């Protein structure tokens, strides 16, 4: 799936559902926000932000970082606000578990084979969510979904969004 399709549909869902929508993404760019989405949980961090290694303060950073970058709050060293290999993704303790208590869990354009994201459908289903997968082809965890919508996102997602919002 092209991320542009996801962004447009994410923004449309955000407009229609307001605060009831939580968008969980592994993308580190800001395409969802630029498309109009607000409640976006970037579980692998954000490329355009920096984080203090001492106090955890997160700030906007749209330029190249240097070793002399210091935290405005505590003067600690700054690093990209990105989850590196073998680091623990963000939001796994509170925000994502809370979001997985949703009425509808929609997975768009994922392989369903990379954890912890691939396990979210199981948790959502355990809480009673209707689970829907929208993909070009069935994912690695397709058996956990109540419904599958297969095909190009640009064609299938607008219809799916209309069905969800109208339900």
Active site residues: 44
Q: Is 55 in the site for Zn ion (CB under 5 A)?
A: yes
> What angle in degrees, to the nearest 10, is found between the helix axes of 3-17 and 153-166?
10
Exactly one of 13, 14, 22, 71 binds Zn ion (CB under 5 A); that residue is: 71
Does position 50 interact with Zn ion (CB under 5 A)? The reply is no
99 binds Zn ion (CB under 5 A): no
Subset of residues 112 to 141 that bind Zn ion, contact rule: CB under 5 A = none
Q: C-alpha angle 162/108/91, rounded to 5°?
A: 110
Residue from 14, 40, 50, 52 that binds Zn ion (CB under 5 A)?
52
**Residue 56 Cβ vs Zn ion, minimum distance, rounded to whole Å:** 7
Rounded Cα distance, 17 and 10, in Å? 10
Distance CA 24, CA 64 (A): 26
C-beta neighbour count of 103 within 10 angstroms: 12
DSSP per-residue string spanning 106-147: EEES--S-STTGGGHHHHHHHTT-EEEEEESS--TTGGG-SE
Closer Cβ to Zn ion, 75 or 150, answer by number? 75
Using the minimum distance from each CB to Zn ion, give the nearer residue, 82 or 164: 82
Nearer to Zn ion (CB atom), residue 71 or residue 120: 71
- Does 29 bind Zn ion (CB under 5 A)? Our answer is no
- Contacting Zn ion (CB under 5 A), which of 1, 3, 41, 54? 54
**Contact region for Zn ion (CB under 5 A) — 15-23, 45-53, 62-70, 151-159?**
45-53
Binding site for Zn ion (CB under 5 A): 52, 54-55, 57, 71, 73-74, 76
């Amino acid at each position: 799936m092209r991320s542009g399709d996801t962004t447009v549909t994410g923004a449309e869902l955000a407009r229609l559902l307001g605060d009831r929508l939580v968008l969980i993404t592994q993308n580190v760019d800001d395409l969802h926000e630029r498309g109009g989405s607000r409640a976006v949980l970037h579980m692998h961090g954000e490329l355009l932000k920096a984080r203090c290694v001492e106090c955890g303060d997160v700030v906007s950073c749209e330029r190249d970082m240097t070793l002399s970058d210091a935290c405005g709050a505590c003067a600690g060293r700054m690093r990209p606000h990105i989850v590196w290999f073998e680091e623990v993704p963000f939001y796994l303790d509170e925000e994502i578990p809370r979001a997985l208590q949703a009425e509808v869990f929609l997975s768009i354009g994922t392989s369903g084979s990379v954890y912890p994201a691939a396990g979210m459908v199981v948790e959502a289903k355990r809480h009673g969510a209707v689970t829907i997968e929208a993909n070009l082809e069935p994912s690695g965890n397709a058996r956990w979904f109540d419904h599958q919508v297969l095909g190009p996102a640009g064609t299938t997602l607008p219809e799916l969004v209309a069905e969800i919002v109208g339900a």
